[in-house]
Amino acid sequence: MKNFSKITLSVLIVASATLTSCSNNDDEATPMPVAKATIYERLGGTKMVTDPDNPGMMIEQGRLSYRKVVNSTIGLIVADIQSNAAGNLQAHFAPLLAETGDTQATNIAKLSDNLTDFFSFNTGGTNAVNTYSGLSMVAAHNPATNARMGTKASNADYTKFEGYVGAAANANGVASNTELYTDVVAVLESLRTPIVQK
């Protein structure tokens, strides 16, 4: 994948390294730089838990947290499209909406899986189960290179989409006034440039 987004996200993770203690007293232990936990770790990390959607299966808590946020986001996008309100995201998802039955269900599940992989892998969930194998963010959001993208996204579309991810995070226990939420928004903002192509 996916050079741009991977690089910006890596920079973000490294840039979040902080000094936890600071002292001028030479007798005290030398302050050690301690990397802040990755977003994936703070969402539950590699701890194995039972998968509520797949009986008998286990899943990393970090991945499960992301999957919940992704599926809530998809629900909000579906509601947005069904609202028929001005500026809704219908045109972007038109190819997916034109599908029916099993084909559509399979492709929505695939999109959910790809989004979960993408967020997990790029925010510290480097277990192979999270490997993202979809298109780069530039290619995925250009109708010329992805027939499933109905039309290019504008800044306003992006802001709306980001708002849905934020609301989905809120609905799944990440409150807006937390550092975790701020860090998630920073990751989303790092993707605006490659995704907005209009």
Catalog residues that contact ligand HEM under the rule CB under 6 A.
89, 92-93, 96, 107, 111, 114-115, 118, 134-135, 140-141, 148-150, 153, 157-158, 161-162, 165, 188, 191, 195
Distance, in Å, from the CA atom of 170 to the CA atom of 179, rounded to the nearest integer, reads 13
- Pairing type for strands 18-19 and 33-34 reads antiparallel
3 state SS of 41: helix
Query: Please, what is the minimum distance in Å from the beta carbon of residue 50 to ligand HEM?
Result: 26
Pairwise CA distance, residues 144 & 121, whole Å: 26
Shortest distance in whole angstroms from residue 135 CB to ligand HEM: 4
Report the residue number, 22 or 147, with the smaller CB distance to ligand HEM.
147
19 forms beta bridges with: 33
Nearer to ligand HEM, 59 or 69 (CB): 69
Closest CA to 141 of 168, 167, 118, 123: 118
Which residue of the chain is nearest ligand HEM when measured via CB? 134
Torsion of CA 129, 130, 134, 137, to 10 degrees: -170
Instruction: Please identify, using beta-carbon distances, which residue of 16 and 154 lies nearer to ligand HEM.
Output: 154
Nearer to ligand HEM by Cβ, of 13 and 195: the residue is 195
